[in-house]
Structure formats: structure tokens, C-alpha cells
Amino acid sequence: MNPQAAQTYLRTRVLTATPEQLQIMLYDGAIRFAEQARIALLKNDFENTYNNVSRAQKIVLELTTSLKHKIAPELCAKLASLYNYIYRKLTEASVKHTIEAMDEAIKLLKFQRETWAMLLDQLAKQKAANHANHLDMPAPSAQMEASISMQG
């Protein structure tokens, strides 16, 4: 895919995504840039390390600023602390060239992404169950059950 087409695709994905999907996309981007920074760090390519860490940090800042403290102050305070810690680990990895700090930041980002994905999956199941409970379907009859058992 050429760069312009990729950019157009990404822009369309972002503009049509739900807030929940945007959160997953932010985690994916932060993880991708942090992993690229890790690879550059292993190669002692400090310029690419810095560039990719900076991109990951911008995403972590976006995650921090998008917290809605008025809705869930205690949860948001904990997440803000976690994002601050991840940001500092990324900084440490970039400045001190420590792979351990980078690995810790990546591990935490992946854990948060996995947690968010599990939450979205759970919400989708609840939503489907709620919709199924509100469907106006007739109760199965003996004739209906007999025709199903004959076919299968």
C-alpha cells in the first residue's frame, strides 16, 4: 500500500471509529512506537530511539488528557498515575538507554490494551444479550422443535 493510501485509510478509520475503538488504536500506536524504539535501542540507533519514544510519549499524553476525572475521579487518578509512570519509563529508556525501562513500559501498555479489549468484549456481550432479550420472537412450539430435530 502506498503511503498516501495508508494515510487515507488511517484517517478514515480514525474518523469512523467509536471512542472505544479510538482507545484501542491509541494503545496500538503507543505499543508499536515503543517496540520500534526498543529495536532501535538494541541497535544503538539513539536518534530513532528518541523519535519513536517521542511518538509513544505523545500518545501516552493523549491517553492522560482524555481521562474524564468528573465521571470517575478515583479510576482516572489511578490511570493518570500509571500513564505518568509509563511516560517516565519511556523517558528513562531514551535518556539512559536502558532496555529494562523500555520493556516495562511496553509490558504495561500491552496489559492496558488487553484489559481494555476484554472490557469491550464484555460490553459487546452484554449489549447483545440486552438486544436478544428485547426481541419479539415467538416461543418455540412442539412442531417447531420437531422440524428442527428432523433436519439436524
145 belongs to a structural domain:
no
118 belongs to a structural domain:
yes
94 belongs to a structural domain:
yes
> Number of structural domains, the chain?
1
147 belongs to a structural domain:
no
Whole-model pTM over 0.95? no
92 belongs to a structural domain:
yes
What CATH number did the domain enclosing 53 receive? Answer: 1.20.120.340
87 belongs to a structural domain:
yes
Residue range of the domain that includes 62 = 3-135
Kindly calculate the radius of gyration of the chain based on its CA atoms and give it in whole angstroms. Answer: 22
99 belongs to a structural domain:
yes
Written as tens digits, the pLDDT of the chain (152 aa) is 777 766 665 566 666 678 888 999 999 999 999 999 999 999 999 999 999 999 999 999 999 999 999 999 999 999 999 999 999 999 999 999 999 999 999 999 999 999 999 988 888 788 777 766 666 666 666 666 666 655 54
143 belongs to a structural domain:
no
